[in-house]
Structures are given as C-alpha cells and as structure tokens.
Amino acid sequence: MAALKARNLSNETINIKLDEGRGVRDLMTIINANGDNVYFDFPSTLLTLNILIDYKIESKKNSFNDKEKALLGKLYIEKFRETTKALLEEKHLFPKYVEFSNSLDEIQL
C-alpha cells in the first residue's frame, strides 16, 4: 500500500454481488490521482493459476521445474487474456474501456 501511495495511487475494494456461484466477490481497484484510470486486480484467478500449475507440473524431491512452470503459466495467462478480450469485444468494451497492463513478451522465464 505504501508503494501505491508513493506513486500517487489509491485503492478501494468493491464487493460485486453475483447471481451465480459465490454470492459476493471482492474486486480490488487501483485509481490514479485524477481518477481517470482504474486498474483491477483478479487475485483469485492468479491464486488458482499457481495451484493448477503446481498440480500439472509436480516438483520431485530436491528438484524444481521452474522453467516448465513458467512456460505453462505463460500459456494459461495468454489463454485467459484471449478469452477476456473476446468477452469484452462481444460487449463492445474493448479497446475503448479496457487496456491490458503488459505484454506477455515481457514476462521473464
């Protein structure tokens, strides 16, 4: 939170009520000083991704499969991005209202 304040950003958690699944989901937002850019965090998606990757690529005793896990994570993130983009385009929200934060090419393996 100190890093956000140092960058002149504030945060707020919004509770979203859903008709299906869990009744309420928390969505963290990051807002710049002008209030004109809002960034969303989807922590449950990333937590689930880590669990899935650990399940798919087991680490044997005294060994780590970090490279394989990073490659699988990058693949899943790209699929998530593609699906999200398609859903946003169907509702005419992308690219006018939504921007992705970075390129997968920037992810270090």
107 membership: H or E segment, kind and range:
none
Could you tell me which of 73, 92, 1, 7 has the C-alpha nearest to residue 41? 1
Q: Which of 8-17, 39-48, 73-82, 93-102 is the least confident region?
A: 39-48
* Residue 108 confidence (pLDDT): 46
Please classify residue 73 by burial: count the beta carbons closer than 10 Å to its beta carbon, then call 0-12 exposed, 13-18 middle and 19+ buried: buried
Tokens 């958690």, located at residue: 13
Quickly count: other Cβ atoms within 10 Å of residue 6's Cβ.
Answer: 8
* Residue 21 confidence (pLDDT): 61
Which tens digits make up the pLDDT trace of 51-109? Answer: 888 888 876 666 668 888 888 988 988 898 899 899 999 999 888 878 776 655 554 44
For the entire predicted model, the pTM comes to: 0.57
